[in-house]
Structure formats: structure tokens, C-alpha cells
Chain A
Amino acid sequence: MSKKLAVPLLVLALFVIIVGGSWLRIFNEYWQVVFFYIGINIIMAVSLNLINGYMGEFSCGHAAFMAVGAYVSGILTVWWFAEDKVFGPPVLPASLGILLVPVAILIGGLAASFVGLLIAIPSFRTRGDYLAIITLAVNYIVKSAIENMEIIGGPRGFLGMQRVMNAITAVLDIPWLLIWTFIGGIGTIILIQRFVSSTFGKGVMAIREDEVAAGLMGVNTRWVKLIAFMVSCGLAGVAGGLFAHGPGGYINPGMFTILKSTEAMVMVYLGGMGSISGNVLSAVFFTLLLEMLRPLGVYKWVVIPLLLVLMMLFRPSGLMGSRELGDVFPQLRAWFGKEEEYAPASN
């Protein structure tokens, strides 16, 4: 078997196991929810890594963009496919939902990316800690803005996505959400991997190392930062859209607080800044850990920071540092490694 095929086959096998196993109820509902959260957390971590890892900026309000995606897509699908007291009866047949719910989730991503643009314009005017402060503020602003919008439930939250999902599964009973989440997670990994290994992505890393020198190489630093930030926020919006259609089909502003943003940051620093495979591993590990610590309730927020501190002490650059799986296991290099250099053929 060729090496090039190994990873796609592995992904396919994972897909079959997770989706097939869930469909056949080999995995009970609890495990399906865990898979779902792993997918969402992979999207959150890998997308935040673009800003905090590759670009070396510090965004600490990733949950705000998740909230935008969650509400925008939730409102759209409820309006389209569910009986609702604000939006009235469904306006589209449920069979279309199989196609249009993912579209709504993508629209949620675009909305989040647009909010990202509004924030990026003032934040990237000057270098420094502006982005950290502004994203922190935005996290609070988005939360209180939603709390004050009575029409979408205010602090009580917004529900109805369960009815959407029920309507869709009534058409065809397969684990739609897991399928979309799987595609979202893999899509995010591929997108970010492509992005950072492109010329444009090299520009992102050059900015992290020395912004002035990057400009001297011809990198339009403001533009590159803007695009990278919008991509990252858009993906957080997609994660939010998936999240909104998850178990219970219910969202409220309290789900998208600074604590949620912190979770994303923990995953990035745990996995290693600038390592996609490290972030995927840490998302899996972190989700499972949260599940195991669930009985502790709020006290898990004693254990997790402690873990972070230990991590910083013993492995300051995270699980993987900036290495990829391909650097550790050369067999995988074709997929996860750094791009091969164009060394002259003469040697």
C-alpha cells in the first residue's frame, strides 16, 4: 500500500467506525456525544492555533465567534425547518434540511468571520496586546448583547434545533450531526494545513518572527493578519453552528463565556503552538479529560489550571511543540510533515 494513501484510508476507517458504529448503536448516546465534542474541540483548537500559534498574536475570545455562528445558524434552521413561536411554521420541507442545515452552519461561519473582520481592523493597526484586550472585551460584549435580545430568548437561551434535527432524521435516520462534525473537523485540519504551508501561510509565520522583516520580504502584513484572523473566526463560527445543533438543540449565552474561550486556549497550549497534529491530539485528550472530571463539577476548574501549570513547567512548548506527527513518525511525513525544501538536485 502506498504511503500517500495511508492517511486518507485511516480517515475513512475512522469515519466508518464512528459514524457506522453510532448508526448501529454500537456506541451508545453518551459516546456519540463525546465524539461530537471531540470534533467541535478539534475545530476550535486548530482554528485558534492559526492566530495564537502560527501568527503569534493573542486572541482570547474565541467563544464569541462560536456564539455568533451558533445563534446565526440556529436561527436560520429553526426559521426554515421548525415550528416556532417567533418564526411560525417551517417554511421549507425537512428533506431539504439535509442539505441546508450544513449551509446554515456555513453561513454562521461567514457571520462569525465578518465579526472577526470588524474586530481585526482596529486591532491590527498597531502591534501589541490590542488583540488580546479587544477579543476579551468582545467576548463579554457578544454575551451581553445576546442576553439583551429577548426575541432570541435573551439569557434563557434559544431552542428549537432539536426539532430541526428530529425533522431531518424523520426523513432519513442516520447520524447526520456526527457526519457533519466529522467533515467539519477534517475540513478544518485540511484547510489550516493548506493555509500554513502556502506562501501566504509562510507570511503568517514570518510576521510572528519579525513583522518589519516580513514587510521587507514583500508580505502585506495587515492584509495577511486580517485574512488569517477571518479564517480562524469563521471556523469557530462553524464549530458554534455544529454545537447549536447538538444534543438537546439548545444554546444560551452562558455557554459562550470566557471559560469556553479559555478551554480553546488550553487546548492550543497543551497541544503545542504551531502544531496541527498536536492540537488534534490535545483536543481529543482534553475532551476526554473534561468528561472524566465531570463528577467534580466546578472543581474541574481547579484541576485544569493546575494541569496547565504543570505542563508549562515540564513541557513549556506543549505536547508537540511546533513539530508535527510527521517529524516524529517519518512514515507520515507526506501528510503531516513540514513541506520538503526545494534543495538543488545536485547533491
Chain B
Amino acid sequence: MPMLELQDVHAYYGNIHALKGISLTVEEGEIVTLIGANGAGKTTTLRTISGLLKPRQGKVYLEGEDLDQYKAHEIVYKGVAMVPEGRGIFAKLTVAENLDMGAYSRRDKKGIAEDLERVFELFPRLKERRNQVAGTLSGGEQQMLATARALMARPRLLLMDEPSMGLAPVLVEDVFDRIMEINHEGTTILLVEQNAHMALQVAHRGYVLQTGEIVLGDTADGLRQNPMVQKAYLGME
């Protein structure tokens, strides 16, 4: 049974038909990437998984369980965490308080303390700055914080919305290294990216989204070699 399965998902914003029948699967232990142009529906897809938007038609299954009955705040308890687009950090709280919020859904103090150590190992910069107000962090540091905060929920499935957005090239490499590390430690990842080049390097598989529809789904290697992908998303002629 796949970790995550979307079956013919249609989602709307008012009359705008944003997702026109998305079907995809993510297996346990995988990194799957979703690439596509601006407005293709990548964020919307993640929103329907995390419960922020309910599909009007179609189903979202997490390990076989229909998520339709759950609200966004309940889906966290099912083991799904999201690093939202634009990061959504709590600007006036400190780094430590943000991480604290990440563990809101948990009661196991010992496990939380362990995970805190783990995210500080993953992002040593956050450790140095744990008492700093999050809004004063640099963009890259805020991105680290958003990722670290999501990890504090100890998710089995991590949804990441453009983690490389607005970062300097050196930092981008770093972020993708971290993503691989998180995955190696056992977290399944669904990764939305504009930076198809990097995304296809770390992912096992990927889907290409165009105006609300999946037009292609293949292994990362397969996609990298696909002429259409090369032309439209990898900038090769």
C-alpha cells in the first residue's frame, strides 16, 4: 500500500478549477517531486493533502485511509507535516518557541527533546540562534526553521513547498543535502519545486504538473532524459 495516494482529485477556489483530476502515489521511504510552472497547481496539491483545501471530487488516502473526514489540524496527528510556501514561521516568537510549536501535536517530552537535538544537528545555525526572534532571521535561516519546525512533529510524510525559493545557490545545495539526509533517516518526502534541476537530482520519482493536470510521471532519471522536461523545466535546448 502506498504511503500517499491521490485518486482523481479535483479542487476549486470558488469557480477556478485549480486541480483537474490529479492522481499520484508516494511510496514509503521515497522522495517524490512535483514540478511545474507558476500557477500549475503544485501548492494546491499540497493543500489538499494537508487538509487546508478539501477536494470537491476524488480521494486522498494516507496508508489506505481516506483523509476526507479530517481537518487540517487533525491530519498532523496522522503523521503529515508541511513546510508551507513562504515558510509561515511565527515571526514574533523565538526560534525555540517556533520549534516548540512544531511539536504541538506531541506529548512525549523525551522524544521531543531528542528531536530537538536532531534538528539542531541538522541545522547548527538554528542552535546558535535559538533565542533569536524568528522574524529577524535571514531568509535562508527562516527556511531552515520552517523545515526544522515541521520535523519537530516527527512526521512520516513531509510535504515541502519550494524549500529553495529565494535562496542563494550555495544555500540551495545545502537545503537539498538536508532533504536527502532527512529522507535517509526515514521520512518520506513529497517535494514541490521550481528548481527542477535540483529536485530531480535528489528525488526518486517525479510528476510534471501543467495547469492542474499531471502530464508526466516517471523516475527522476526518466524525467531528466525526457526532451519535453529538458526543454521546459531544465532549460536545455
A residues apposed to B, CB below 8 Å: 199, 202-203, 205-206, 208-210, 212-221, 322, 341-344, 346
The one of B88, B92, B97 in contact with A212, judged by C-beta atoms closer than 8 angstroms, is: B88
Asked if B200 CB lies within 8 Å of chain A CBs, one says no
Alpha-carbon gap, A284 to B104, bound state (A): 36
Q: Which residues of chain B are near A220, meaning CB under 8 Å?
A: 71, 73
**Nearest neighbor of B80 in chain A, beta-carbon distance:** A216
- Which residues 88-104 in B have Cβ within 8 Å of A in the complex? 88-94, 96-97, 100-102, 104
Q: Which one of A205, A344, A346 has the greatest number of beta carbons of chain B within 10 Å?
A: A344
**Alpha-carbon distance A216/B116, docked complex (angstroms):** 19
Residues of A contacting B82 with CB < 8 Å? 216
User: Which one of B104, B116, B131 contacts A199 once the chains associate, using CB atoms below 8 Å?
Assistant: B104
Return chain A residues, CB-CB under 8 Å to B76. Answer: 216-218
Instruction: Kindly identify which residue among A212, A214, A342, A344 contacts B101, using a CB–CB cutoff of 8 Å.
Output: A214
A216–B88 CB distance below 8 A: yes
B153 CB within 8 Å of chain A: yes
CB contacts (< 8 Å) of B149 on chain A: these are: 217
Q: Are B96 and A341 in contact, with the CB atoms below 8 A?
A: yes
B interface residues, tally (CB under 8 Å): 34
- Which 10 pairs from chain A and chain B are nearest by CB? A218-B105, A213-B88, A209-B90, A218-B76, A341-B96, A217-B104, A215-B72, A218-B104, A220-B73, A215-B73
A305 to chain B, nearest CB (A): 27
For window 50-98 of chain B, which residues contact chain A by CB distance below 8 Å?
Answer: 50, 52, 71-74, 76-77, 81-82, 84, 88-94, 96-97
Q: How many A-B residue pairs have CB under 8 A?
A: 86
Q: Which residues of A contact B94 (CB under 8 A)?
A: 341
Residues of chain B lying within 8 A (CB to CB) of residue A221 = 73
Docked-complex contact B131 and A341, CB < 8 angstroms: yes
For the complex, give the distance between the alpha carbons of A188 and B136 in Å. 33
Residues in B whose Cβ lies below 8 Å from that of A217: 73, 76, 101-102, 104-105, 149, 153
Closest beta carbon of chain B to A307's beta carbon, Å? 26
Task: A209 to B145: give the CA distance in the assembly, Å.
Answer: 15
* Contact A342 to B84, CB < 8 A, known contacts A215-B73, A217-B105: no
**Chain B interface residues (CB < 8 Å from chain A):** 50, 52, 71-74, 76-77, 81-82, 84, 88-94, 96-97, 100-102, 104-105, 112-113, 116-117, 120, 130-131, 149, 153
A residues in contact with B153, CB < 8 Å: 217-218
Q: Are A213 and B90 in contact (CB under 8 A)?
A: yes
CB distance from B164 to the nearest CB of A (A): 19
User: Known: A213-B84, A218-B153. Is A202-B73 also a contact (CB below 8 A)?
Assistant: no
Q: Which of B50, B93, B112 contacts A216 (CB 8 A)?
A: B50
With A and B bound together, what is the CA distance between A202 and B97 in angstroms? 8
Docked pose: A214 CA to B88 CA in angstroms? 9
Closest residue of chain B to A203, judged by CB? B104
A227 to chain B, nearest CB (A): 14
Taking A206-B101, A218-B74, A342-B113 as known contacts, 4 extra A-B pairs with beta carbons closer than 8 A to each other, sorted by chain A number, are A203-B104, A217-B104, A219-B73, A341-B94
A344 and B113 contact, Cβ closer than 8 Å, known pairs A205-B93, A217-B104: yes
**Minimal beta-carbon separation of A278 from chain B (angstroms):** 15
In the complex, what's the smallest C-beta–C-beta distance from A223 to chain B, in angstroms? 9
> Hey, which chain B residues are within 8 Å of A205, CB to CB?
90, 92-93, 97
A343-B90 in contact (CB<8A) = no
Of A213, A219, A346, which one neighbours B89 at CB under 8 angstroms? Answer: A213
A199 neighbours in B (Cβ, 8 Å): 104
Could you say which of A216, A341, A342 contacts B81, with CB atoms under 8 Å apart? A216
Asked if A212 and B90 sit within 8 Å, CB to CB, the answer is no
CB distance from A30 to the nearest CB of B (A): 42
- Closest beta carbon of chain B to A273's beta carbon, Å: 10
Residues of the A chain whose Cβ atoms lie less than 8 Å from the Cβ of B104: 199, 202-203, 206, 217-219
Q: What's the Cα separation between A221 and B74 when bound, in Å? A: 11
Query: A217-B153, A218-B76 are known contacts. Are A343 and B102 too (CB-CB below 8 A)?
Result: no
Q: Please pick, from B52, B77, B90, B120, the residue contacting A215 in the complex, using a CB distance under 8 A.
A: B52
Tell me, rounded to whole Å, the shortest Cβ–Cβ distance linking B132 to chain A.
Answer: 12
Partner of B92, one of A203, A209, A214, A219: A209
Q: How far is the CB of B220 from chain A (nearest CB, A)?
A: 27
How many angstroms between the C-alpha atoms of A209 and B102 in the bound complex?
A: 14
Which chain A residue lies CB-closest to B97?
A: A202
Q: Which of A214, A216, A341 has the most CB of B within 10 A?
A: A216
Q: A202-B101, A341-B96, A341-B130 are in contact. Are A216 and B84 (CB under 8 A)?
A: yes
How far apart sit A346 and B113, CA to CA, in the bound complex (Å)?
12
A218 with B116: CB separation less than 8 A: no
Cross-chain contact A344 with B116 (CB below 8 angstroms): yes
